[in-house]
Amino acid sequence: MSKWLFLVTLSLFAWNAVAWIHDGLDRSHEFEECYGVHASNSSGNLPLAENSFEKRCTDLLIPFDLSHKRIGNFTVKEINYIRSLFRKINSEAYKIQRYRVKRQVPVVPNSPNNVWRYRQEIRTNNGYHFNVYATRVRQLKATGQYDIIANINRMTVSKAYVGINFLPWHRLILLVLETALGVPIPYYDSSLDHEMDDPTNSCVWEPRYFGEGIGPVIQGRFANFLTPAGPLFRKINAGGVLISRRMIIKHVWSQRYLTEISTPTARYKSNLEGQSNNVHYWINGIIANLALSAYDPIFFCHYAFIDYIWDIFRMVQSSKGINSETDTGKKYPPGQNPSDSSDLDGLLNSEGYSFKTSNLVSYRRWAQCPSCDISDDVYCDKVRWVCVSRQKPIPSAIPQQIAIHQTDRLASISALKDGRFGPPFTPFANDSRTRGDAVQASQIEKDMDKKNQKFRLS
């Protein structure tokens, strides 16, 4: 029986749907017995009341000693809240796995499970699914629970970035927020904007989607959100570059192994973390800062798209006879080995690679010509044969130069510009259309400036 340990490598907790090893003992049988079911039981009946016993049973899988070392700046109440989310994920994963075993359904990436986590592009059905997501985010923000989850990213930068654990870790954090929201996270396909003549005019920077692209966010569902650095703000098109489908298809999906698309072993065009960094840097503002990025809800929509790209990559691996669940590389940065534990006993990174995790989610394919049929906000450019985002119908109320000035002032007041909250994401390339005035200049740009070299992707 294989291990099923859920780590938000984030130095947090674990969840387990098939086996839990603790103090050298396999606790999975106790879990099944608690639920009144066994793998050999084909009746499917649960003699115990599932809701009333769920907490007691899953606690077998999440041993947590309050006398143990405290995690980051989380309070006991916040820790218990995060544990409750893991408990729900664990229960959901266990039920799906048990369903598949009973029906002898093969475990493969992105298999149809009729799961509720069906992620679609934000513009699908003219933004209906995004509106549901954004409404729930705002409700969660009002309770303080959104910030608890965003703070997980802040506490775990070293384990979530600059290494092979990048993709598995973000797959897990998406599940955490999604469970808290109770609705799927729609993905932001930034390639639809990249194909525009001027991506800053995309309809996603309207109040019905993300709100302001430059300056403090004062319109839309995320209006007046606060972060540890003050008001949520952005500075789109300052640097970086949005994702190009041609780059993904030619340079990412053509690779065979995870190491070939991961830092530090991937070539720069094939490096999916690098392409993700480019988007952080292009949106700029709060989301461009490594530690604070998750305080902008675009973060999760962006990583849902990165996860979609990885999911297709894993399907391609499967077609080539490669087991993506065990494709974990051989060399790891400190703390990113799949078998590495966090500061709490028994927590592993490995679950981000698991089919049990990936089978909790399914995706609607990205928009494709000739129909680009996901929304009226997307159309097919039949000359280039690419799907393109529609423009916002009216320009921003505040002139761009004034909005840029507001953004720079916010960055100075908060000391974000001076590095108080740590470094920004490092872009691997910049679009030649960008202004080159990022809130926090990345080290590579500083080095290029010293050498009077351009850092552009035409």
DSSP-derived secondary structure letter, 239 = S
Q: What is the pLDDT of residues 211-249, one digit of tens each?
A: 999 999 999 999 999 999 999 999 999 999 999 999 999
In a domain, 66, yes or no: no
Q: pLDDT band for position 49 (50/70/90)?
A: very low
Q: What is the pLDDT of residues 290-331, one digit of tens each?
A: 999 999 999 999 999 999 999 999 999 999 999 999 998 888
What residue has token string 């996901």? 374
214: containing domain:
109-450
Of the ranges 43-47, 206-210, 379-383, 419-423, which one carries the lowest mean pLDDT score?
43-47
In a domain, 27, yes or no: no
- Helical packing angle, 298-319 and 272-283, nearest 10°: 160
In a domain, 396, yes or no: yes
- pLDDT for residue 440: 87
- Residue 420: burial class (beta carbons within 10 Å; 0-12, 13-18, 19+): exposed
- pLDDT for residue 24: 40
In a domain, 89, yes or no: no
Q: Which of 305, 306, 287, 289 is nearest to 297 (CA)?
A: 287
Q: What is the pLDDT of residues 119-172, one digit of tens each?
A: 999 999 999 999 999 999 999 999 999 999 999 888 878 778 888 999 998 998
Q: Which of 227, 226, 199 is nearest to 213 (CA)?
A: 199
Q: Which of 327, 319, 320 is nearest to 355 (CA)?
A: 327
How many CB atoms lie under 10 A from the CB of residue 76?
Answer: 9
Euclidean distance between CA atoms 425 and 344, whole angstroms: 28
How many CB atoms lie under 10 A from the CB of residue 378?
Answer: 22
* DSSP H helix total and E strand total for the chain: 14, 10
Q: What is the overall mean pLDDT for the chain?
A: 80
Q: pLDDT band for position 115 (50/70/90)?
A: confident
In a domain, 81, yes or no: no
Q: What is the pLDDT of residues 162-188, one digit of tens each?
A: 889 999 989 989 999 999 999 999 999
In a domain, 32, yes or no: no
Average pLDDT over residues 250-257: 97
In a domain, 399, yes or no: yes
Euclidean distance between CA atoms 34 and 329, whole angstroms: 36
- CATH number for the domain spanning 152: value is 1.10.1280.10
In a domain, 34, yes or no: no
More confident residue, 369 or 64: 369
Q: Give the number of domains in the chain.
A: 1
For residue 14, pLDDT beyond 60: no
Spatial CB neighbours of 419, under 8 Å, sequence gap ≥ 6: 440
- pLDDT for residue 337: 72
What's the predicted TM-score (pTM) here? 0.81
Spatial CB neighbours of 312, under 8 Å, sequence gap ≥ 6: 253
For residue 368, pLDDT beyond 70: yes
